[in-house]
Structure 1
């Protein structure tokens, strides 16, 4: 399996006009290949029907994002209900949501859904608002929650139930910075405005060099408070060494296969975080009984990169060995890949792991749980609220990211240390999340399009704003709302596969390619087939 194969077979460099169409037919259900490399092989090219179908999905998804966005501030709400003509907005948003709207605007222009003039107007409006909102000025970072209609920082949690101290999240600011890096290259007329925001963001505030003593590198903090919260113990300090002290939450991102790796990628590219940080995170936790609380025992070898000892371990699932994420969901594994061409730049690690993750989701939905559909990520719960979903067997979380409404937990035990509590689970009412299948489109385009087509035509989890956020496949319960982040992942995935790699191309130029590409290229996972 090589990066060249993946690029030639998976990217459809179609122009925007190719997506203009109104009719299409969904393909047959998918039976997973036995060879994981087949997810990257073949001569797949989008048919006219594919282009029309995905083009309609993109236009409708964009309609939901427009409906979420306040006309005065240019800030998108976190979510809306089922109506896109009379939207009820959530009254809160985050830096991630705002970033998602920005990169979705770039995709909409690339696909010909909006004009270059409308794209510039929307981007400029949003960035101008972000220049004026309250934020942590010494670090250039933004607080977690804002009112999308006013741009004001929220001091009550989004549920409206309690007062909160505004938090400055590393991963949320990572996604906003990622969007700025896309915008500055995709829309040169907005470059100065994007740079004025990006240029003040300092990811050194999050890097704790002492998080893993004796290793030779540290970890990224989850985030900090500008003032001490009354209900939480914190670590006072300042890793950047500039400005007043902040109050760090006692949490670090210590695993590699997570969406949070976007923040150190950016910090490394900007010269604010040392490259060794990438190897300080765990691929899997150690294979000793001290770590037997996770759902299965890893198998692997130790390798050194930049002087850092890395346990290159993997989990086993249906004849595959792969580096797990925390919850086994598509979002953690594949959202950073929307921006960094990880499979192409790191063919011996992500180039193997990403297609195996996709295969695991397909086989779980089609063959293991027998839902008839696949694609599992955190999303709205069809019964109300928000829940996490994943393929539990390829996650480390002992509580599990389930794939069904019953929250069925998989636990294989930890060989030599403890017996499994549920090594052969019986699954119930599976919950599929369309954005997860869109993330997989880069690696299994035919399978993803067919799966999504059946979610629309058979499960009816679709309306004027595109796919609803989730659907339970046996009961037919649908979470009839749209989340801006999930819709932005849909737009980003379509933009890469059908829009000439527009997100990756514009994000990964310059310093990202110079500093991140050689870093991740040196690693070799032990992922593959048993």
Structure 2
């Protein structure tokens, strides 16, 4: 779901004690609890070193005048290699990473305040879509000007308002306003004008059930396909012709924020699919889901899950760690939803480990969208725990697994009675392994340590963005978003869930926690063990 131009390298997780989440099979029971239980003092020292190096990449990416981070920078951290463009997500990643850097004593409180104030001052002067208060997708990081062409290629940009990118930006503002009193008023001023109801399709189903969130809209007709519509205030816009219709993907952060701000109805949380229904009408999927239908707030929800290696997992669209766990950086989903996310998050991590170590035999694991080591940008994932029939694959060869749709169509790869496919040059992405750290700390530490020492995919700015493990081909580049994910995880693991505590203060806990708490996913181990 996070689709971006190839040259646009990077744009488009507790408060209260609760029952512990289930243990991950094959690992210590404590490893399944969010927050990094099971880490040693030596582990934490290593994490602190990685945090310091990761922060160095942000310092190098950030323009000295505007305080805006570039989308990406090359591995040598030469300022001349900054991308020349940035996005709301990139800016948000820098904001929350600055808060983390202060918490981990990588920078002083004075420096943190200076950096945040500089960035927020620039943001207050940036052009936004005034009727909705939302920010456009691409800006020049050296001036803050809205872009209509990409700097290097000259490719035309139709200025777009992305729901998920504005969601990550608002999440950062919410963290800043709660964690940094010195700049709270500035953050509040920016946040106050953002109306997430602009992205919500109230009439999608003619009022018969709650609607979903659009991918976004253009203020003016774009060169490609769009669907004309109007905002609630009557402003004409050009919406994307798709909605984010899967719960387990990163756009759920938009729904969380919109519900907390009273701009999206609470029932919208149950409007999206856990999987599509288990009928032959959906046999274009590569796996037939298991599950049953339940009702929440008057909305019928098929609690579907995909079987994978003895587990039933609520899939993401592409089988990526990013979709599963990035919202968990800010919302303590596993704690608030012990029968939903508290089951699914550890299983999704287990699935990524089993795929990389056993099924594909890469010797490494962690799959998410990232720089392609062979050029450009690509989505990587575990195909079998993703709904996308075209697949987000874990290797450069795009090895597909299609188990067929039971009773509707046969499997194609592997065919019945045939061995599993042979996987090629698998591409692991360190930020994905970091996202797993709260749920599988020992295995995550081992995986990351070997990526650094065995593969050498590490530079002065921390882990490189991706590495193809069999050829050891490295994407020696740093992306603001992916580095921000690393900093966010480390802030929570080393800083006692600091991002979650800041983000969920007040309205988020009051409104979102009860929704998450009431649901029971169809996820779990297929043999019924806890």
Q: TM-score range by the shorter chain?
A: over 0.9
Deviation at 1:211, TM superposition (A): 2.0
Partner of 1:491: 487
| Match status 1:341 vs 2:332 | yes
Deviations along 1:229-256, one digit per CA (max 9) or x if unpaired, are: 1332322221xx2252211111100000
Partner of 1:21: none
Output the CA distance in 2 between the equivalents of 1:104 and 1:233: 35
Output the CA distance in 2 between the equivalents of 1:126 and 1:231: 33
Deviations along 1:368-396, one digit per CA (max 9) or x if unpaired, are: 11111110000001101101101111000
Output the CA distance in 2 between the equivalents of 1:225 and 1:257: 25
**Are 1:75 and 1:148, in contact at CA under 8 Å, matched by a contact in 2?**
yes
Q: Aligned ranges for residues 263-412 of structure 1 at < 5 Å? A: 263-412=254-403
**Are 1:81 and 1:87, in contact at CA under 8 Å, matched by a contact in 2?**
no
**Are 1:100 and 1:489, in contact at CA under 8 Å, matched by a contact in 2?**
yes
Output the CA distance in 1 between the equivalents of 2:103 and 2:281: 51
| Match status 1:444 vs 2:436 | no
**Are 2:38 and 2:441, in contact at CA under 8 Å, matched by a contact in 1?**
no
Q: Aligned ranges for residues 75-86 of structure 1 at < 5 Å? A: 75-86=68-79
Deviation at 1:405, TM superposition (A): 1.1
Instruction: Indicate how the Cα distance of structure 1 residues 89 and 102 shifts in structure 2: closer, same or farther if over 3 A, else same.
Output: same
Output the CA distance in 2 between the equivalents of 1:280 and 1:343: 20
SS in 1 for 2:135: coil
| Match status 1:236 vs 2:232 | no
SS in 1 for 2:128: coil
Moved more, 50-59 or 33-42: 33-42
Question: Aligned to 1:40, which of 32, 38, 42?
Answer: 32
Instruction: Indicate how the Cα distance of structure 1 residues 323 and 213 shifts in structure 2: closer, same or farther if over 3 A, else same.
Output: farther
Q: Aligned ranges for residues 467-486 of structure 1 at < 5 Å? A: 467-486=463-482
Aligned length: 505
| Match status 1:426 vs 2:419 | no
Deviation at 1:397, TM superposition (A): 0.6
Deviations along 1:140-169, one digit per CA (max 9) or x if unpaired, are: 100000011111111124663532220000
SS in 1 for 2:178: helix
Partner of 2:96: 103
Output the CA distance in 1 between the equivalents of 2:20 and 2:154: 48
| Match status 1:145 vs 2:138 | yes
| Match status 1:208 vs 2:201 | yes
| Match status 1:506 vs 2:497 | no
Deviation at 1:478, TM superposition (A): 0.3
Question: Aligned to 1:127, which of 109, 120, 131?
Answer: 120
Deviations along 1:69-118, one digit per CA (max 9) or x if unpaired, are: 10101100000011125451000110000000000000000000000010
Output the CA distance in 2 between the equivalents of 1:521 and 1:159: 47
Deviation at 1:514, TM superposition (A): 0.2
Question: Aligned to 1:257, which of 242, 245, 248?
Answer: 248
Moved more, 205-214 or 406-415: 205-214
| Match status 1:223 vs 2:216 | yes
**Over the residues paired in the alignment, what is the CA RMSD in angstroms?**
1.9
Deviation at 1:421, TM superposition (A): 1.9
SS in 2 for 1:422: coil
Deviation at 1:189, TM superposition (A): 1.0
SS in 2 for 1:344: helix
Q: Which runs of 5+ in 2 are unaligned?
A: 1-15, 415-419
SS in 2 for 1:54: helix
Partner of 2:10: none
SS in 2 for 1:413: coil
Output the CA distance in 1 between the equivalents of 2:247 and 2:26: 27
Output the CA distance in 1 between the equivalents of 2:151 and 2:512: 35
Output the CA distance in 2 between the equivalents of 1:487 and 1:41: 24
Partner of 2:237: 246
Partner of 1:15: none
Instruction: Indicate how the Cα distance of structure 1 residues 374 and 6 shifts in structure 2: closer, same or farther if over 3 A, else same.
Output: farther
Output the CA distance in 2 between the equivalents of 1:103 and 1:197: 15
Partner of 2:129: 136
